[in-house]
Chain A
């Protein structure tokens, strides 16, 4: 039971990390833009609520997958994040892994040979 919940926690964390990395794929963004982007692009299916975004951003920054810098262009200082080359590689790998997992899951659920192409 506890093992199962730990796996779910890890999965949830990985999904959140992928969402954040995906939001930063095209250009650098402020934290609030990442949160909005995730909510907008998933049409509300995924939302990084209650500030859960910040531990994810800081963890990814710690691992070197994203890089933050302070932007003080217009008055107040704001932090901007961009995806690093390492982060891009990691994201590509994670996408492939998730696709394989999803394909495998659908094959099991629908029955072999019926998975969506």
Chain B
């Protein structure tokens, strides 16, 4: 059925929508084209004529594809056409900043209210910096995947490894902080052996906060990475499915001009 596949490929070439919506639309049309061709053949129409009739009725023209894009276009793309790229870039950054600051505040405020840690380790600052990094990376990637719908193959997995690496670094920081604090405890006990009990108790409390913060950062990063990976893999599966529908070696998604992409970077 080369004519049906050709018609689908033509539709796919101008169907500028993010996955998996794009593949869902093509899948619907592909199934209908095939069913209509079969139905017409059952009615006694010659094979070639049935195929041509199916294409004539159901293969979407440029106008129909444009109407489908208008219907399913994500809000971000609609806004991107109305407002300047710099404004969109700024609002995206503000979004990432708000998510990061909000999450950090949600983590730090209860800790500050409870008065912990009493004697903060110097390692708590890099851990909170890493938490901010994890949240910013995850928020940026989530915005790209869900809001912007930037699903170009070259950029799909961008930012995933740094997210995982930042999460792992938080564990390293927590372990290093634990060792450092243990060393400080030993020095304290050595200097004032009579205060060993109090020093030990304070060490436990402060180390719990330090190690807990590191582990929570790693956990948040890992969880975000896992959730983002599900979306990335769903997009990749859709792309493979689309290629099987259109008979293309590789599905050709029209590249969406994302404001953060330097000119010509995707070409």
Chain A residues in contact with chain B, CB under 8 A? 30-32, 35-36, 39, 47-55, 58-59, 62, 76-79
Identify A51's interface contact among B27, B29, B72, CB under 8 A: B29
* In the complex, B33 has a CB within 8 A of chain A: yes
With a cutoff of 8 Å between Cβ atoms, the chain B residues found around residue A36 in the complex are 36, 39
With a cutoff of 8 Å between Cβ atoms, the chain B residues found around residue A32 in the complex are 32-33, 35-36, 39, 54, 57-58
With a cutoff of 8 Å between Cβ atoms, the chain A residues found around residue B205 in the complex are none
> Given A30-B35, A32-B36, A77-B27, do A54 and B64 touch, yes or no (CB 8 Å)?
yes
Q: How far apart are the CA atoms of A30 and B38 in the complex, in Å? A: 14
Can you show 18 pairs from A to B with CB atoms below 8 A apart? A30-B32, A30-B35, A31-B28, A31-B32, A31-B58, A35-B36, A35-B57, A48-B57, A51-B57, A51-B61, A51-B65, A52-B60, A52-B63, A52-B67, A58-B68, A59-B71, A76-B34, A79-B27
Q: How far apart are the CA atoms of A76 and B27 in the complex, in Å? A: 9
Identify B31's interface contact among A58, A62, A78, CB under 8 A: A78
CB distance from B4 to the nearest CB of A (A): 12
A-B pair number, CB within 8 angstroms:
78
Q: How far apart are the CA atoms of A58 and B57 in the complex, in Å? A: 17
CB distance from A78 to the nearest CB of B (A): 4
* B56 with A79: CB separation less than 8 A: no
The 8 closest A-B pairs by CB, nearest first: A51-B60, A55-B67, A32-B36, A50-B61, A32-B32, A51-B64, A78-B31, A31-B32
* B28 with A54: CB separation less than 8 A: yes
Q: How far apart are the CA atoms of A85 and B65 in the complex, in Å? A: 29
Most buried by A among B57, B59, B71: B57
* A79 with B31: CB separation less than 8 A: yes
* B28 with A55: CB separation less than 8 A: no
CB distance from B118 to the nearest CB of A (A): 57
CB distance from B49 to the nearest CB of A (A): 15
* A50 with B72: CB separation less than 8 A: no
* In the complex, B25 has a CB within 8 A of chain A: yes
